[in-house]
Amino acid sequence: MNQDIRLIDLFQARHRIRGHVLHTPLAASTSLTRRVGAPVHLKLECRQTTGSFKLRGATNALLALDDAARARGVIGVSTGNHGRALAHAAKRLGVRAVICMSRLVPANKVEAIRALGAEVHISGASQDEAELEVARLVREEGLTLLPPFDHPDVIAGQGTAGLEILDDLPSVDTVLVPLSGGGLLAGVALAMKSASRDIRVVGVTMERGCAMHASIQAGRPVQVEELETLADSLGGGIGLDNRYTFRMAQTLVDDTVLVSEAEIADAIRHAYREEQVIVEGAGAVGIAALLAGRVANPGTTAVLVSGANIDMALHRRLVCEEWNAGGT
């Protein structure tokens, strides 16, 4: 396969992060199996230590740094979950962490990062604008940049979730993966396609401003307007100078699917009522795609439920159906 990240990097990442992250459950879903007419399993990364898969990549990247790079402290831009993961891993290793976020990041995610002892910088109205603050701090303070997705060690760390799916469900036919910057999708797709080219890998994202989906459609990285969405963790650009995830998504992913805000809300409700799982909007998009019939003939399916870090007041509104698609 023609990319710089290899299957061996995923296995090395799994060895490196063992003891730092959980091997999360792969739970059979009776309700979705009945709906789809084929076995459906939920990979519950929402039960990871920091509430999302992001801990895998952040931990692997931090552990892979040399002592000098760690001593300078680390910095990242985040829509919430990468920042929380990086803050958690840095605290555990005694490393300074600085997290830059835009004003669109929900308050519950900002406060969770502060509670872990990281320094928080809120800058601009989009992740692209927050990245300008990252660049300034790297330049002025010499901090070590660990980005949320477009980094070999981050991608390899996220790909360990794919290795676990293969361990627990070797008969898998289709894997549905939330899509934002593509670090999770790229890593999981590498794991799946290395096992069998016949495993179908589908990236699922929101209709409201997914840069990677637009970039794949355009055949090159493009910018899109960052909009408010229930799937807030999937917001942000992929970088016009994207080095890894765009090319891997182009070559390894079979399809990308869009879901609406109403469909994401339905999926959050379904996860709570039928699966007894609290899931954030970004983590619910795979469930949304199945409920909406967006994936035809999936066969034995693994749905990666990527995170649980939803504002609980919003969750209560959604579960009680006091929310509408015009009022995110």
Show which residues are catalytic: 54, 306
Report how far residue 128's alpha carbon sits from residue 221's, in angstroms, rounded to the nearest whole number. Answer: 14
Q: Which residue(s) pair with 42 in the sheet?
A: 27, 303
- Rounded to the nearest angstrom, the gap between the alpha carbon of residue 275 and the centroid of all alpha carbons in its chain is 20
The answer to whether residues 149 and 182 touch, using CB atoms and an 8 Å cutoff, is yes
Phi, psi of 55 (to 5 degrees): -60, -30
Report how far residue 224's alpha carbon sits from residue 260's, in angstroms, rounded to the nearest whole number. Answer: 17
